Amino acid sequence: MVSALRGEQTRVMVRSWLSRSHSGTREIAGLAVLYGLYEVIRGAGTENVQAAMTHTADIVAVEQALGLYAERSVQQAFEAIPFAPSLLGLLYVLLHFAGTAVALTWIHRKHPDRFPLVRTTFVAATALALVGYVFYPAAPPRLADLGFSDTVTHSTGLDLSSDLLGALYNPFAAVPSLHFGYALIVGIALATIASRRALRVAGALYPAAMLLIIVATGNHFFVDAALGGLAVVVGWLAAHMLVAPPAPGRPAPRMATSPARG
């Protein structure tokens, strides 16, 4: 009885915490710690190169059977456009981090009632993706010996497979694609929350733009993106169960030391 009561109290406390929009400092710190932990776990495991290559071959076989295997053709088309590889390589790095951070900050400041669900969806989707990285290592196209170029490394000088980045970064953690998954969350949030038409349109187009970027830079297959989208859908469903909806007409309460802005 006591154990059950404590369990219920813990559940209520967790649900209450997740259902609130906390101060910006706390939210940033919490997400930074979680993402850092995610990167450490993601990159700490021993890389099974043989298994990763086998899984990538399976992905290619599935795409070929479905008539979807066109990633190299997409990359070649953009390689023929002056400065396009450099631009796409830069966007691959910047949008995933800076773009996501700016979007989360905007939602937190302007729509605190929507932020708890968006934040919890990010956390749940990231946790699901981590399971995929651990149990299904897969090489990205650029490392699969399939003729793809490493656009980011060649165009930006940032070697994603270097020893320095390899301390926290596992190059064989490609499935599912959180580049696409995060873009999908941000895009849907902007398209459904923003009051300005330009922002809604940008949100609607953002996931498709990210899909083009990750494919054209040789970092993901279409299947990787589809599984990233699936992780987001499951994460969103989990977030709906964990986050209490705000009262109609009232923003979600904040746990902050200063009044909410904007």
Domains of the chain, by residue range, sit at 24-248
For 212-224, the pLDDT digits (tens) are 999 999 999 999 9
Q: What is the mean pLDDT of residues 52-61?
A: 96
Tokens (6 digits) for 160 = 């994603």
Predicted local confidence at residue 47, as pLDDT: 60
d(CA 172, CA 227): 15
Task: Quote the pTM value.
Answer: 0.84
One-letter identity of residue 228: G
**Which residues make Cβ contacts (< 8 Å) with residue 183, sequence separation at least 6?**
95, 96, 99, 206, 207, 209, 210, 211
Per-residue pLDDT at 11 exceeds 70: no
Per-residue pLDDT at 191 exceeds 90: yes
d(CA 217, CA 23): 37
Per-residue pLDDT at 157 exceeds 70: no
For 83-136, the pLDDT digits (tens) are 999 999 999 989 998 999 999 999 999 999 999 999 999 999 999 999 998 889
Three-class secondary structure of residue 170 per DSSP: coil
